[in-house]
């Protein structure tokens, strides 16, 4: 008999806010020192009332749980990822990993099978984890990232009140060697499921030639504030399952960032995507620091290594300005 899923609705019920939102962290015990520092930075700029949900593919140690619980000002809840969501798909062998990558090319993290499991988990499973099901919104936080600006407006409240679905800070060019066939699979999906494509959409963010090729622009998903109801939708689940059956998370090294970016660009109207220009943020080696003087006066940014204000951002902003008059 199938085990009954644990009801974690109490995690939200104990939340003092009216918004079903959480801070979501995928991490391991060895991340403790970096994560405590990140939590302190986040809480210094954003004194929130949202619970932390932390997941791992193995059980967290009591030492780790105590350290994190002491670091947060609200509550921290620790969960386990089922093995079936952190293992090779049925029929795939370890020798298959990386077999479709271009021979002789360097692929970042190619030797880390755990990295591929992480990318697949973030692409298709996290939002249905029992501990996340009570929530509508999540803010993805990674150990070691930095937050540099006082956040006066609650990002979750902004998302809800302005009907936004996906929020980001940094957009970049994807590493082409990790995704040699991804766009061809996406084009196949679009031909098979045209009913899921939004009109209007943000294809211009992804492509300079009407979708024939991908320009490799994507939102850097180590920072996301998003509505999980989008990921739980039929269109997104169909998209993920379609890609997952192609095997590219393992045969190549598809990341969750391009998967999320392509999905939001194709399945959402452009005004559902929001650039959080007021959130200073670092994920090595990239820092985004607001240039607006009214915002930057409340920031303490490190030396900028790279900027989010690149040609990918401009592509989305041009679409939003043309359609809605939105300007950042």
- What Å distances lie between residue 317 and 106, 181, 222, CA to CA? 32, 27, 21
Distance in angstroms (rounded) separating the CA atoms of residues 107 and 253: 8
Phi, psi of 167 (to 5 degrees): -120, 140
Distance of CA 45 to the CA centre of its chain: 21
Strands 224-227 and 137-140: antiparallel
Phi, psi of 277 (to 5 degrees): -70, -15
Strands 281-283 and 286-288: antiparallel
Give, as one character, the DSSP assignment of residue 87.
S
Catalytic residue among 224, 237, 291, 294: 224
Task: Name the nearest CA neighbour of 313 among 268, 266, 277, 267.
Answer: 277
Residues 6+ apart with CB under 8 A from 290: 149, 277, 278, 279, 280, 296, 299
Distance in angstroms (rounded) separating the CA atoms of residues 135 and 249: 27
Q: Is 5 a catalytic residue?
A: no
Q: Which residue has the tokens 């040609």?
A: 311
Q: Which residue has the tokens 């988990």?
A: 121
Distance in angstroms (rounded) separating the CA atoms of residues 261 and 221: 8
- Reported as type and span, the H/E element at residue 62 is helix 62-71
- Reported as type and span, the H/E element at residue 324 is helix 311-324
- What Å distances lie between residue 22 and 10, 15, 30, 156, 239, CA to CA? 13, 9, 23, 9, 25
Active site members:
224
């Amino acid at each position: 008999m199938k085990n009954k899923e644990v009801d974690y609705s109490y995690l939200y019920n104990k939340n003092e806010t009216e918004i079903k939102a959480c801070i979501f962290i995928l991490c391991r015990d060895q991340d403790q020192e970096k994560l405590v520092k990140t939590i302190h930075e986040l809480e210094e700029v954003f004194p929130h009332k949202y619970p932390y949900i932390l997941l791992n593919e193995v059980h967290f140690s009591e030492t780790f749980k105590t350290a994190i619980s002491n670091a947060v000002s609200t509550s921290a809840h620790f969960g386990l990822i089922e093995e079936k969501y952190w293992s090779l798909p049925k029929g795939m062998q370890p020798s298959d990993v990386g077999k479709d990558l271009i021979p002789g090319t360097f692929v970042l993290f190619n030797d880390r099978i755990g990295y591929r499991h992480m990318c697949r988990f973030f692409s298709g499973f996290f939002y249905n984890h029992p501990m996340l099901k009570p929530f509508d919104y999540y803010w993805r936080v990674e150990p070691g990232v930095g937050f540099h600006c006082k956040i006066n407006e609650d990002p979750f409240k902004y998302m809800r009140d302005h009907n936004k679905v996906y929020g980001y800070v940094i957009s970049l060019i994807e590493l082409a060697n990790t995704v040699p066939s991804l766009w061809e699979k996406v084009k196949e999906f679009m031909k098979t499921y045209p009913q899921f494509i939004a009109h209007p959409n943000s294809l211009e963010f992804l492509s300079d030639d009407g979708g024939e090729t991908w320009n490799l622009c994507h939102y850097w998903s180590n920072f996301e504030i998003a509505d999980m109801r989008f990921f739980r939708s039929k269109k997104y689940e169909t998209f993920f399952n379609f890609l997952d059956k192609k095997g590219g998370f393992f045969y190549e090294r598809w990341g969750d960032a391009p998967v999320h970016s392509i999905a939001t660009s194709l399945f959402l109207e452009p005004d559902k995507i929001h650039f959080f220009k007021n959130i200073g943020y670092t994920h090595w080696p990239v820092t985004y620091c607001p240039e607006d003087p009214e915002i930057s006066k409340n920031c303490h940014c490190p030396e900028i290594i790279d900027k989010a204000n690149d040609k990918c951002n401009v592509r989305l902003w041009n679409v939003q300005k043309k359609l809605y008059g939105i300007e950042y």
